[in-house]
Structure 1
Amino acid sequence: MASTTDRQVTHDFPLIGIRAFKDGTVERLMGTEIVPPSTNPTTGVQSKDVVINPQTGLSARLYLPKTTNPIHKKLPLLVYFHGGGFCMETAVSPMYHNYLDSFAAEANVVIVSVDYRRAPEHPIPIAYDDSWVAIKWAASHSQDSGGDELWLNAYVDFDRLFFAGDSAGANLAHNMAVRVGLEGLGGVSLVGIVLVHPWFGGKEPIGAEWEKLSVKAFSDNLWLFVYPSSSGSDDPLFNPVMDPDFSKLGCNKVLVCVAEKDFLRDRGWYYKEEMEKSGWGGIVEIMEAKGEEHVFHFVNPTCDNAVALLKRFVAFMN
Structure 2
Amino acid sequence: MFKRKRQEIPDCAAVVEDELAVSAILRFLAEQGLRPTPVNYELAYIRANDGDSLAARAIDAILIGGDTVSQAQADHIVGAYRALGGGRRESEEETAGHAELRHQTRHLAELTGAAMTATGQFGRDLSQHLDDLDQDSPPFAATIAAMIDRTGETEARLSAAMQQIDSLNSELMAAKTDAARDALTGLANRRGLQLHLDALEPGGCTAIAICDIDRFKAINDRHGHQVGDRVIRAVAESIAASCEPHLVARWGGEEFVVVMEGVPLATAADIVVRSNRTLQNRVFRIRDTGEALEPITLSAGVVMVADGKAEEAITAADALLYRAKTEGRDRVIWAADPPDAPAAIAA
TM class by shorter chain equals: under 0.3
TM-score by length of 2: 0.22
Which structure's residues are more often strand, by fraction?
Answer: 1
TM-score by length of 1: 0.23
